[in-house]
């Protein structure tokens, strides 16, 4: 079965499982339209905390939460409301060598009563093949006035060891360091590593970004998302989060495509498509 819809039971939420003809799989919770699993070439590529809440009580800690219409703190709750709304599954089906799911979120009484009260439509397309996962948002201004927003795909990658993980494709770009409160620092490293709590916003990243560790590598191609956020809580911040294990920071890294350094503005009726294509490029697996 290429598409399986699982109704919530035992404290979990409704979700959809996609299986490609090439043996890959992906799981999407309708709560937040959060992709919580992506398995390709026999390996789980996404990280979800063992302490993540899967009952709708708070955003899912891991996978690919959708940040819209606000990145970070602001007038709305942290990272906006898209990741805590129930999305509608429009359809899901196999198409040749891929499996595609379409989901949708529209404004409602609650969002219109918030401090971002606009009418909007967000359509989210998740496409799975044997070695790729595509997550594309199409955001439409359905209001009578212009609105602005920030958005991001808060992608948690599972890695064998954070100390050996490298992120390529950021060299030469300027970043804001949210931990140290500095801005305008140029990244000089061809392969960025982590050795402590990091929260950086790299602005106007020009090309493909890669995440590699122990012979595993995933490339990230971005569409209409200018920036990349790099985050790991390390031990001190991990201990402060109730939905994150104290030692789980060693197993993950967030490399998050978004447009957050500046806002996107849409006129009434205007639509923008933005997203990412993740591709497995392992080099150490036998037979590859």
Is 154 assigned a catalytic role? Answer: yes
pLDDT digits (tens, 9 = 90+) for 184-223: 999 999 999 999 999 999 999 999 999 999 889 999 999 9
pLDDT digits (tens, 9 = 90+) for 39-88: 999 999 999 999 999 999 999 999 999 999 999 999 999 999 999 999 99
Q: For the chain, list the domains and their CATH numbers.
A: 3-280 (2.70.98.10)
The pTM assigned to this predicted structure is 0.96
Answer yes or no: is 83 a known binding residue: yes
Burial code (b: 16+ CB inside 10 Å, e: under 16) for 5-27 equals eeeeeeeebbbbbbbbeeebbbb
Per-residue pLDDT at 214:
85
Answer yes or no: is 276 a known binding residue: no
Answer yes or no: is 267 a known binding residue: no
Is 95 assigned a catalytic role? Answer: no
Burial code (b: 16+ CB inside 10 Å, e: under 16) for 153-174 equals bbbbbbbeebeebbbbbbeebe
Per-residue pLDDT at 47:
98
pLDDT averaged over the chain?
A: 95
- Of 27, 79, 140, 154, the catalytic one is 154
* Number of residues that this document lists for the chain: 288
Q: What are phi and psi of 83, to 5 degrees?
A: -80, -5
Cα–Cα dist 48/251, whole Å: 10
Cα–Cα dist 92/70, whole Å: 28
Confidence band, pLDDT 50/70/90 cuts, at residue 149: very high
């Amino acid at each position: 079965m290429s598409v399986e819809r699982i109704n919530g039971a035992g404290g979990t939420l409704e979700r959809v499982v996609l299986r490609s003809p090439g043996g890959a799989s992906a799981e999407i919770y309708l709560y937040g339209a959060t992709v919580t699993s992506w398995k390709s070439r026999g390996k789980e590529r996404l990280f979800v905390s063992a302490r993540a809440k899967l009952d709708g009580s708070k955003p899912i800690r891991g996978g690919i939460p959708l940040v819209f219409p606000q990145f970070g703190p602001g007038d709305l709750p942290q990272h906006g409301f898209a990741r805590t709304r129930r999305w509608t599954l429009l359809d899901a089906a196999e198409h040749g060598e891929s499996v595609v799911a379409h989901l949708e979120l529209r404004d409602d009484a609650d969002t219109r009563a918030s401090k971002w009260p606009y009418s909007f439509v967000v359509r989210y397309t998740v496409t799975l093949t044997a070695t790729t996962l595509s997550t594309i948002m199409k955001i439409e201004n359905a209001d009578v006035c212009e609105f602005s927003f920030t958005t991001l795909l808060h992608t948690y990658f599972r890695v064998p060891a954070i100390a050996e993980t490298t992120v390529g494709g950021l060299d030469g770009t300027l970043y804001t360091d949210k931990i140290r409160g500095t801005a305008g620092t140029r990244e000089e490293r061809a392969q960025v590593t982590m050795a402590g709590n990091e929260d950086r916003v790299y602005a106007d990243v020009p090309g493909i970004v890669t995440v590699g560790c122990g012979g595993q590598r995933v490339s990230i191609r971005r569409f209409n998302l200018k920036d990349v956020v790099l985050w790991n809580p390390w031990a001190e911040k991990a201990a402060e989060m109730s939905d994150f294990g104290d030692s789980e920071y060693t197993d993950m890294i967030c490399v998050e495509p978004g447009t957050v350094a500046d806002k996107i503005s849409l006129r009434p009726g205007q639509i923008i498509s933005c997203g990412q294509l993740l591709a497995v490029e392992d080099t150490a697996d036998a037979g590859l």
